[in-house]
Amino acid sequence: MTGDLFISYYGDDFTGSTDVMEALTTGGVETVLFTSIPGEKQLEKFKHCRAVGLAGISRSQTPEWMSEHLPAIFSWLWTLDARFCHYKTCSTFDSSPQKAPSAVPGNRPGNVQSETDSSCGRGSPASALHLFRKFVRGLPG
Tens digit of pLDDT at every position of the chain (141 positions): 556 899 999 998 898 899 999 999 999 999 999 999 999 999 999 999 999 999 999 888 888 888 899 999 999 999 999 999 988 886 544 444 444 433 434 433 444 444 444 333 334 555 566 666 666 666 654
Domain 7-137 falls in which CATH fold?
A: Rossmann fold (3.40.50)
What's the pTM value of the predicted model, to 2 decimals? 0.70
Question: DSSP assignment, residue 61?
Answer: S
- Ramachandran region of residue 108, left (φ > 0), alpha (ψ -120 to 50) or beta? beta
Q: Where are the alpha helices (DSSP H) in the chain?
A: 14-26, 40-44, 63-79, 125-137
Q: How far is Cα 35 from Cα 51, in angstroms, rounded to an integer? A: 14
Q: How far is Cα 7 from Cα 53, in angstroms, rounded to an integer? A: 8
Q: In Å, how far from its chain's centre is CA 14?
A: 12
Q: How far is Cα 81 from Cα 73, in angstroms, rounded to an integer? A: 14
What does the domain layout of the chain look like in residue ranges?
7-137
